[in-house]
Structure 1
Amino acid sequence: MILKKKPEEIWREYEKGIDYKTGLNLYDIVERNNNFFMDRQWEGINAPSLDKPVFNILKPVVNYYTAMLISDDIAINTEMADAAGASDTMELKSGNKRKVFQMEDVLPKVIASEVERVMEQTNARTLNRRMLRNCAVDGDACFYLWYDAREDGIRIDLLDNTNVYFGNPACAEVERQPYIILAYRMNTQEVREEAEGNGLPVEGILPDGETIYFNPGKEEERSCTTVLLKLWKEQGAVRYIKCTGKALVKQETDAGYERYPLAWMSWERVKNSYHGTSPLTGKIANQIFINKVYALSMRFVMLNAYPKVIYNEEKLPEGWNNDVGAAVKVLGDPNSAIFGGYQPPNMSGDAMRMVQSTMQQTKDLMGASDAALGNVKPDNTSAIIAVQRAAGVPLDLQRMDFHSFVEDYVRVILDMMRVHYGVRRICVRMNAGEKYAGDFDFSRLGESEFSLKIDIGAGTYWSQQMQVQMLDNLMKNKILSDPAVYLEMVPDEFVKDKHKILDSINGRRETGEQTTGRQKAARDARQGGSRPAPRGKRGQNV
C-alpha cells in the first residue's frame, strides 16, 4: 500500500472519512443524542403557544450505565508471560540494606507502580467516566496518548468519535489499521507557532471554513484551523505527520512505538463498521412521544381545568366582571337567569397511563429497571447480593469491553515508557510491605523475555475487605497458623509499617530457634555424659 504523506493528499483522505461518517448520518445522530441527553429536547420546534416540558428518562439511564461500569476501581495485574527472563535478578536498596530479588517478582510491581503514577498524573479515572459517558451517548469513545517532552510525562486526550478516522472503516481493531487520522480544531496562531518551532514555513497556515466541529456563528471560531495528525506503521514502528489542508505543521517523525497510541471502544459493535451504536439512538422516538403527550396534557389542563362562565350578553351589556365584590349592572329582572357555569369533559386517563407505560418499558428495555436502579427493598443479605448481581448482568458485555479498553491503553503506556523513560529511579513495596529503591532500565520492556500478561479487573475496597475477612476465618479455624504469612497476605493499606511487625516476628522466631537449639545441644551433652562406658571381654574397660 502506497502511503500518502503530502498535506493535500492527507486532506483528501480526511474528506473521504467525512463522507463515510456522513453516509452513516453520524454527525446528526451525535448532535441529536447529545441534545436529548442535555435536556435540549425541543430544538428546532416552532410552537410558541405550547409549553415545552422535558421529562428526560435517557440521562438517568446513561448515568446509571456510567456508575455501574466505573463503580469498581481498576486494578492492574501484570506477570511475566515468558519464563526466559524469570532467572534475571535485580538489586534493590532499603536504607542501608541491600537485597537481590528475582526479576519476575520486581517487574510486575515496577509496572504497577509506574502505571498507577501515570494514571494519577493524567487523571485517567476521571477521563474513564467521561469516556464512558461519551461512549453511551455518541456510540464510540477514544483515548489518544502522547508524550509531553517539556513536562517529561505521558498525557491522555479524550477524543470524540467524529474526530477519529480509520484507514479501513470496515474494521474496528486499532492495530489492524493501515493509517489513522485525528482531526483537531486549533487556534491559527498556535498552529503557526508550532510549525515555526519545527522549522517549517507558516504562510500556508490560514483560518479555514470548517463547520463540522463548531458553531460557525461564533466570532472566535473564524480564526481557527483544522489540524490533521496522521499515524501509520512502517516495519512495525509507528510514524506520524502533522499538517493542515495546505501546509505541514510537523514533518514525518518516527515515534518508535510498536502500538498505535490509541484506545477505542464502541458501546455496541456494528458489523463491518468501526462505529458503534448508542443505546439512546433508538429510544429518542419514545422520549419525543413522552414529551408530546405531557405538553398536550398540560395544554389541556390549562384550557379546561377551570369551569367557564356563560352569561346572557343582552342582560350584561358591559360584559362580565370577575372583580371580587364588584357590582354587576343588569338590564331587566336580576332574579332571572343571567349566567351559568360550563364544565368541559375530563381528559382521558389513557394518555397518562400510556406515558407511564412507555417510560417504564423504555427503562426496562435499556436495562435500567427498578431492580437495577435499587428501587427494591431486599429482606436479607442474600437478597442484597442477588439484586446487585442482577443489576450488573445487562452491562456485562460493556464491562468486558471497558476492561479491554483499559488494557489497551495500559499497553500503550508501557510502550511509551519503553521508548521515553530510559533508566529511572524506581521505588516499590515488596511482599513484606517494605520500600525498596533502585535503578531500572525501562527500555528492557521491549525485550522478548519480558513479554507481559496484563489483566484488568475490579480493585475495590470491598474486594480487599473480603480478602482480610477470608484470612481472619483461616486463622480462626486454625487452617492458617503462621502470623507472618497472615501479615504478608494482608493488603498494605490495612496495616501501617507492616514490614516492622514482620521483622519483629521473624526476629523473635530466630531468637526462639537459637534458644531451642542451645537447649537441645545441652540436653544431648548431658545425655552423652551419663551414658555408661563400653566394656571389653572379661569385664575390662576398653
Structure 2
Amino acid sequence: MKKRLEPQGIWEEYARGRAYNARHGLYETVKQNENFYIGRQWEGVDAPDLDKPVINILKRVVAYFIATIVSDDVAVQVSFPGGADQGLGEALSSEVARVMEQAKLKTQNRDVIRNAAVDGDGAMYLRFEVEADPLNGGAIVGEVVDNTCVIFGNPQVAQVQRQPYILLALRRTVESVRSEMAQNGFAQAAENLKPDGEGESAEDGRVTVLVRLWKENGRVHAIKTTRECVVKPEVDLGLTLYPLAWMNWDRVRNSYHGQAAITGLVPNQIFINKLFAMGMEHVKKMAFPKVVFNEALLPEGWSNRAGEAIAVQGDPQVAVASPLPAVDMSNQVMMLIEKTIAYTRETMGATDAALGNVRPDNTSAIIAVQKSSAMPLELQRMSFYQFMEDVVRIILDLARVHYGVRLLPLEQGGALRFDFASLDKLRYALAVDIGPSTYWSELMQVETLDNLFEKGVIQDAETYLENVPDAYIRNRRKILDKLRARSATTSMGGMGNEAVPQVPYGAEDR
C-alpha cells in the first residue's frame, strides 16, 4: 500500500487506466464525437477542390436532449422517516438549494448532460473552498470534469462509491504547481519540476497532476502528485463519500464508461455530408448548359460576351455550334438525404414534433406528441436524477465536515441553530427525493390552493396563506400573525365561564 501512495506507484495506476481507455477507443471516440458535435466534420479529408458542406443534425438533436432533460428544474426535498423533524428537513432542503444556486450547479448540469450525450459520461467533482466565500468560512463548489480525466480503480464497475480508488488527472501550468508545492513544504522538489509533455503539445509548459482518492476505515483520503513529485501529502478528508458524481448516457456492460448518443450515428452524418457534397459538385458542373462548336469553323474559340462579333471560316449559315443539354441529377439523391436525416432523427427519438418542425394547427395533439416523443429519454432522465441525488448527498457530507454550527432560516420565520457534524448520526435516515420542479411549481401550488379553497376543502384563510409562496403576497407573515391573533381572541371570547380565569373574591375592592 505504501508503494501505491508514492508518485511512481500512482503514475503506474494512471498508466493502466489510460491503457484501458485506449483499448476501448475512448480517446478517439471522444475526439471524433466532439468534432462532429461542433461542426468540424471534414477533419482529415484531403479534397481541396471539393466543397465541404456540414448538415449538422447531431448538434440539434443533442441540444434537444439537453433541453428535454433539464427543461424541468430540479427540486430537492430532504426528509426524515415518519415525518419527524419536519422543520429540520425543510431547513436542510433550503440550504441545499442555496448551495446549488451559489455554486451554479444547475447551470453546470447542462454541461454534464452535454458531456454525457456527446462523450458518453458526465462527471462533477465537488469540494469545499475557503476562498469561495471567506466571510462565511468557505463554500461548496462544483466543477464539471471530462470523462477522459477520470480513472476508476475498478473499470468494470460504474458505481463510484464501490471503487477502491479514483484518479483525477489535471493539466496545470508548471508555475502554479511549483507554488502549491512550496506552500506544502516541497520547495526543493518544486525547483526540479518540468513539463512532462503528456498533453496535446509537448511544449505547452504544463504538467499532469494526479489527485488520488481512496477510502480507509470508511473515510476518504486524498493525495496529490505528479509523475515524480508529491504536490500535497496524504490527508484525511473526513468524508464518507467520494466527492465525485458520475452518470452514463447509455450503460455499457462491464465498463464504467457509457455509450454516447451520437457515437453510432457518426456514419450517418458522414454519409449525409458526402452525398450533399457530391450533389453540389454535380450542380456546379452539370446544371448549366454547355456549348459544342466546330473548332475548324471557329479557330479563335467560342466567346460568351454579349454583342461581340464572332469570326467564322466558311459559310456562316452552316451550324457552327449547338447547346448541349444538361444532365439532371436524379431526384433520388435528395430524397435519400432527406430520408437519412429523418430516419436518423427518429432513431434518436427526435421527431419533427419534438423539434418544433410542425405547424401548430392542433396544439393539444402537438403537446401530446411531444410528451410521447420524450419517453425514450426517460432512462437518461432517471440517470440524471440519480446523479443529482448523489450530488445532494455529497453536499450534505461536505457540509457535515466543514460547516460546523450555522443558523438555518426556517420557512415559518426565525432560524434554527444546527450543528452539521450531527449529520454523522442522521445521514442514514435522510431521504433525498429528486424530481422536476413542476411537482412543486409555485404557480401550480397557487392554482391548486385556489381550487381547494373554492371547493371548501380549505375553509380558513390561515391555512391558505401558510401554503402560499412568499412572492405572491406581500407581507404574508404579518397578515398571518394578525389572523392568528384574531383567531386567538375569538377563541377566548367564545369560552364558557368555566374556561375564563376567575377573579379572586374581594379583588375588585383592592
| TM-score bracket relative to the smaller structure | over 0.9
The aligned runs of 1:447-466 (5 Å cut-off) are 447-448=425-426, 451-460=429-438, 463-466=441-444
The aligned runs of 1:410-421 (5 Å cut-off) are 410-421=392-403
Q: 1:111 aligns with which of 92, 100, 125?
A: 92
Separation in 2, partners of 1:426, 1:134:
35
Separation in 1, partners of 2:466, 2:223:
50
* 1:34 to 2:34 alignment: yes
Structure 1 unaligned residues grouped into runs of 5+ = 87-103, 523-542
Separation in 2, partners of 1:245, 1:60:
41
> Per-residue deviation at 1:381?
6.5
1:50 aligns with 50
1:206 aligns with 194
The aligned runs of 1:70-469 (5 Å cut-off) are 70-81=70-81, 86=84, 104-151=85-132, 152-200=138-186, 201-211=189-199, 214-216=200-202, 221=204, 223-377=205-359, 382-383=364-365, 385-430=367-412, 435-448=413-426, 451-460=429-438, 463-469=441-447
Larger deviation, residues 11-20 vs 478-487: 478-487
Amino acid at match of 1:362: T
Is the Cα contact below 8 Å between 2:30 and 2:119 reproduced in 1?
Answer: yes
- Number of aligned residues: 493
Is the Cα contact below 8 Å between 2:79 and 2:90 reproduced in 1?
Answer: no
Separation in 1, partners of 2:131, 2:478:
40
| Pair 425,510 (structure 1): closer, same or farther in 2 beyond 3 Å | closer
Amino acid at match of 1:486: Y
> Per-residue deviation at 1:2?
7.5
Amino acid at match of 2:454: K
Is the Cα contact below 8 Å between 1:139 and 1:276 reproduced in 2?
Answer: yes
Separation in 1, partners of 2:194, 2:281:
52
1:514 aligns with 492
Amino acid at match of 1:229: V
Aligned-residue identity in percent: 47
* 1:24 to 2:24 alignment: yes
2:135 aligns with none
* 1:484 to 2:468 alignment: no
TM-score computed with the length of structure 1 as normaliser:
0.87
Larger deviation, residues 402-411 vs 332-341: 332-341
Is the Cα contact below 8 Å between 1:80 and 1:450 reproduced in 2?
Answer: no
> Per-residue deviation at 1:372?
2.0
Separation in 2, partners of 1:309, 1:385:
56
Separation in 1, partners of 2:434, 2:494:
48
Amino acid at match of 1:148: E
> Per-residue deviation at 1:260?
0.2
> Per-residue deviation at 1:150?
3.1
> Per-residue deviation at 1:326?
1.3
Amino acid at match of 2:32: R
| Pair 230,462 (structure 1): closer, same or farther in 2 beyond 3 Å | closer
> Per-residue deviation at 1:449?
7.6
Is the Cα contact below 8 Å between 2:77 and 2:433 reproduced in 1?
Answer: yes
Separation in 2, partners of 1:463, 1:382:
22
Separation in 2, partners of 1:480, 1:519:
31
Separation in 2, partners of 1:424, 1:404:
28
Is the Cα contact below 8 Å between 1:445 and 1:451 reproduced in 2?
Answer: no
Structure 2 unaligned residues grouped into runs of 5+ = 133-137, 501-510
> Per-residue deviation at 1:215?
4.4
Is the Cα contact below 8 Å between 1:82 and 1:449 reproduced in 2?
Answer: no
Which string of whole-angstrom CA distances, capped at 9 and with x for unpartnered residues, describes residues 164-199 of structure 1?
000000000000000000000000010011011011
TM-score computed with the length of structure 2 as normaliser:
0.92
Separation in 2, partners of 1:197, 1:279:
44
Which string of whole-angstrom CA distances, capped at 9 and with x for unpartnered residues, describes residues 73-115 of structure 1?
11000111378xx4xxxxxxxxxxxxxxxxx122112212221
1:527 aligns with none
Q: 2:479 aligns with which of 498, 501, 507?
A: 501
Which string of whole-angstrom CA distances, capped at 9 and with x for unpartnered residues, describes residues 291-312 of structure 1?
0110000000000100001111
1:471 aligns with 449
Amino acid at match of 2:172: M
Which string of whole-angstrom CA distances, capped at 9 and with x for unpartnered residues, describes residues 30-76 of structure 1?
00000000000000000011100000010000000000001111100
| Pair 194,458 (structure 1): closer, same or farther in 2 beyond 3 Å | same
Separation in 2, partners of 1:381, 1:518:
61
Is the Cα contact below 8 Å between 1:308 and 1:342 reproduced in 2?
Answer: yes
State the SS of the aligned residue for 2:278: helix
| Pair 487,274 (structure 1): closer, same or farther in 2 beyond 3 Å | same
State the SS of the aligned residue for 2:350: coil
Which string of whole-angstrom CA distances, capped at 9 and with x for unpartnered residues, describes residues 464-505 of structure 1?
322222221222122221221112222333223222221222
Amino acid at match of 2:323: G
> Per-residue deviation at 1:122?
1.3
Structure number with bigger Rg = 1
